[in-house]
Amino acid sequence: MAFEFTDANFQKEALENDNISVVDFWAEWCGPCKMITPIIDELSSELEGKAKIGKVNVDTNPNVSMEYGVRSIPTILIFKNGKVVDKHVGVTTKQALLQKIEAQY
Protein backbone atom coordinates (compact mmCIF):
# COMPACT_ATOMS: atom_id res chain seq x y z
CA MET A 1 0.00 0.00 0.00
CA ALA A 2 1.27 3.45 -0.88
CA PHE A 3 2.37 5.80 1.89
CA GLU A 4 0.03 8.69 2.72
CA PHE A 5 1.86 11.99 2.50
CA THR A 6 0.17 14.98 4.16
CA ASP A 7 0.84 18.68 4.63
CA ALA A 8 2.07 17.78 8.13
CA ASN A 9 4.51 14.98 7.23
CA PHE A 10 5.62 15.94 3.71
CA GLN A 11 8.85 17.70 4.65
CA LYS A 12 10.13 14.82 6.79
CA GLU A 13 8.78 11.86 4.82
CA ALA A 14 9.21 13.02 1.21
CA LEU A 15 12.01 15.56 1.25
CA GLU A 16 14.30 14.50 4.11
CA ASN A 17 14.41 10.75 3.56
CA ASP A 18 17.46 9.00 2.11
CA ASN A 19 15.57 7.38 -0.76
CA ILE A 20 13.91 8.70 -3.87
CA SER A 21 10.35 9.83 -3.16
CA VAL A 22 7.55 9.36 -5.68
CA VAL A 23 4.47 11.42 -4.88
CA ASP A 24 1.12 10.96 -6.61
CA PHE A 25 -1.15 14.00 -6.22
CA TRP A 26 -4.77 12.78 -6.48
CA ALA A 27 -8.39 13.26 -5.37
CA GLU A 28 -11.29 10.90 -4.61
CA TRP A 29 -13.45 12.35 -7.41
CA CYS A 30 -10.76 12.03 -10.11
CA GLY A 31 -11.33 9.15 -12.56
CA PRO A 32 -7.80 9.10 -14.01
CA CYS A 33 -6.43 9.13 -10.43
CA LYS A 34 -8.34 5.94 -9.70
CA MET A 35 -6.83 4.36 -12.81
CA ILE A 36 -3.28 5.01 -11.62
CA THR A 37 -3.82 3.95 -7.97
CA PRO A 38 -3.11 0.23 -8.57
CA ILE A 39 0.15 1.14 -10.33
CA ILE A 40 1.25 3.32 -7.41
CA ASP A 41 0.37 0.57 -4.92
CA GLU A 42 2.27 -2.10 -6.91
CA LEU A 43 5.37 0.07 -7.27
CA SER A 44 5.24 0.91 -3.56
CA SER A 45 5.52 -2.80 -2.73
CA GLU A 46 8.03 -3.66 -5.44
CA LEU A 47 10.40 -0.77 -4.69
CA GLU A 48 10.19 -0.88 -0.89
CA GLY A 49 13.57 0.13 0.50
CA LYS A 50 14.61 1.74 -2.79
CA ALA A 51 11.98 4.47 -3.10
CA LYS A 52 9.29 5.92 -0.86
CA ILE A 53 6.13 5.88 -2.94
CA GLY A 54 2.96 7.53 -1.78
CA LYS A 55 0.00 9.76 -2.42
CA VAL A 56 -1.17 13.25 -1.48
CA ASN A 57 -4.90 13.92 -1.48
CA VAL A 58 -5.09 17.44 -2.93
CA ASP A 59 -8.47 18.12 -1.32
CA THR A 60 -7.26 17.46 2.23
CA ASN A 61 -3.65 18.66 1.78
CA PRO A 62 -3.80 21.92 -0.18
CA ASN A 63 -0.51 23.38 1.08
CA VAL A 64 1.80 20.81 -0.50
CA SER A 65 -0.25 20.88 -3.69
CA MET A 66 0.03 24.68 -3.93
CA GLU A 67 3.74 24.68 -3.04
CA TYR A 68 4.53 22.45 -6.03
CA GLY A 69 2.06 24.12 -8.40
CA VAL A 70 -0.13 21.06 -8.88
CA ARG A 71 -3.04 22.19 -11.04
CA SER A 72 -3.93 18.98 -12.88
CA ILE A 73 -4.31 15.55 -11.37
CA PRO A 74 -2.99 12.99 -11.32
CA THR A 75 0.42 14.63 -11.12
CA ILE A 76 3.38 12.48 -10.13
CA LEU A 77 6.51 14.20 -8.83
CA ILE A 78 9.78 12.35 -8.29
CA PHE A 79 12.07 13.81 -5.62
CA LYS A 80 15.74 13.13 -5.02
CA ASN A 81 17.69 14.88 -2.27
CA GLY A 82 14.65 17.05 -1.55
CA LYS A 83 14.35 18.40 -5.11
CA VAL A 84 11.92 17.59 -7.93
CA VAL A 85 13.89 15.67 -10.55
CA ASP A 86 11.02 14.45 -12.75
CA LYS A 87 7.32 15.05 -13.27
CA HIS A 88 4.44 13.36 -15.05
CA VAL A 89 0.92 14.73 -15.47
CA GLY A 90 -1.93 12.38 -16.36
CA VAL A 91 -2.24 8.62 -16.61
CA THR A 92 0.84 6.58 -17.43
CA THR A 93 1.87 2.95 -17.59
CA LYS A 94 3.64 1.10 -14.81
CA GLN A 95 6.64 0.50 -17.09
CA ALA A 96 6.96 4.19 -18.05
CA LEU A 97 6.79 5.28 -14.42
CA LEU A 98 9.25 2.60 -13.36
CA GLN A 99 11.74 3.82 -15.98
CA LYS A 100 11.45 7.39 -14.64
CA ILE A 101 12.07 6.15 -11.09
CA GLU A 102 14.96 3.85 -11.98
CA ALA A 103 16.66 6.68 -13.90
CA GLN A 104 17.18 8.41 -10.53
CA TYR A 105 19.15 5.59 -8.85
Catalytic site residues?
30, 33
Strands 83-89 and 51-57: unpaired
Strand partners, 20: 51
CB atoms within 10 A of CB 7: 15
